[in-house]
């Protein structure tokens, strides 16, 4: 992966840093694996705005991703590495030996022509998916299930990875990208390797218009509002706004909102870093 700093021939390109896309092998998606996407603009069925700062954005089509990796024991060849407008990570098109095609999240280092497979008795190589019970301790993993058969829900974004720390009985100890350490059932699936496009964090949009292309409308700063609109609004001159808090008055920056009696608390060994 690489990034490019543009030669500024317009003001919007002055600080622009773009992805080099050197890992991408095609710009045409597999037609059988794309679906239409409808936009709400943040409005509900009555046309009332229920989500602020949403709307616009470039038209997209959804790529149907296989998060479950449930074709056990059937090898697949990586046909292409593609850009997906709906996520930060790149995706890989797999051609299975039985003729089926599926998209999966591409791991860093995955190459076109590589054969990958999922199942219990497979080698712990990049791109292979297997239960936590069969992965060697200390391995870097991603696309992790939280419940068996649910499909990957953790460590799916660009550059994300977790580490398998230990196993004890029916639980495995995982250190997640947030820094949280928690227990997960050993029969949950995970993919070997870190997620691709780790340079995504280095990108600089360069201008406000790019946020509009992504469907983000302008957001008013709370300290610029009136007291009737936000708890941090009002005051004479440029008032600081007081303690940071949400529109509904819930404190931000360090205030814990997780339910103390939540059932899954017993599986969290160490909370995420602040």
Q: pLDDT tens digit string along 65-117?
A: 999 999 999 999 999 999 999 999 999 999 999 999 999 999 999 999 999 99
Instruction: Give the pair of three-digit tokens for residue 230.
Output: 């936000």
| Banded pLDDT at 273 (limits 50, 70, 90) | confident
> In the chain, what percentage of residues exceed pLDDT 70?
99
CA distance 175 to 180: 6
Predicted local distance difference test score (pLDDT) of residue 140: 98
> Up-side HSE of residue 126: CA atoms within 13 Å toward CB?
15
Instruction: Compute how many other C-beta atoms are within 10 angstroms of the C-beta atom of residue 191.
Output: 27
132 neighbors 167 (Cβ within 8 angstroms) = yes
Q: Residue range 129-156: average pLDDT? A: 97
Q: pLDDT tens digit string along 20-34?
A: 999 999 999 999 999
Q: pLDDT tens digit string along 188-216?
A: 999 999 999 999 999 999 999 999 999 99
Q: Which of 172, 193, 153, 157 is nearest to 68 (CA)?
A: 153
Q: What is the set of domains in the chain, with CATH numbers?
A: 3-201 (2.40.50.140), 222-269 (4.10.950.10)
Average pLDDT, the chain: 95
DSSP string, 86-98: TSSS-EEEEEETT
Q: Which of 69, 117, 70 is nearest to 97 (CA)?
A: 117
Q: pLDDT tens digit string along 250-272?
A: 999 989 999 999 999 999 999 98
- Asked if pLDDT for residue 219 goes beyond 80, the answer is yes
User: Which residues does residue 216 pair with via DSSP β-bridges, in sequence order?
Assistant: 54
């Amino acid at each position: 992966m690489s990034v490019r700093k543009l030669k500024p021939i317009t003001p919007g390109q002055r600080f622009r840093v773009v992805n080099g896309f050197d890992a991408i092998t095609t710009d045409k998606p597999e037609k059988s694996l794309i679906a239409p996407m409808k936009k709400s603009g943040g409005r509900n069925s009555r046309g009332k705005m229920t989500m602020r700062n949403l709307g616009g954005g470039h038209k997209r089509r959804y790529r149907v991703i296989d998060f479950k990796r449930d074709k056990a024991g059937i090898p697949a060849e990586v046909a292409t590495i593609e850009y997906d407008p709906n996520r930060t990570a790149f995706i890989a098109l797999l051609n299975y030996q039985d003729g089926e095609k599926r998209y999966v999240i591409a791991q860093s280092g995955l190459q076109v022509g590589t054969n990958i497979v999922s199942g219990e008795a497979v080698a712990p190589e990049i791109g292979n998916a297997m239960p936590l019970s069969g992965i060697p301790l200390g391995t870097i993993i991603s696309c992790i299930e939280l419940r068996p058969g649910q499909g990957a829900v953790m460590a799916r974004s660009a550059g994300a990875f977790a580490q398998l720390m230990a196993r004890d009985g029916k639980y495995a100890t995982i250190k997640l990208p947030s820094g949280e350490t928690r227990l997960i059932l050993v029969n949950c699936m995970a993919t070997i390797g870190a997620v691709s496009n780790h340079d995504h964090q280095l990108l600089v949009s360069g201008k406000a218009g790019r946020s509009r292309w992504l469907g983000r409308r302008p957001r008013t700063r709370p300290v610029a509002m009136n007291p009737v609109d936000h708890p941090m609004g009002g005051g004479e001159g440029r008032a600081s706004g007081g303690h940071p808090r949400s529109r509904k008055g819930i404190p931000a920056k360090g205030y814990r909102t997780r339910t103390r009696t939540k059932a899954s608390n017993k599986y969290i060994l160490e909370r995420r870093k602040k």
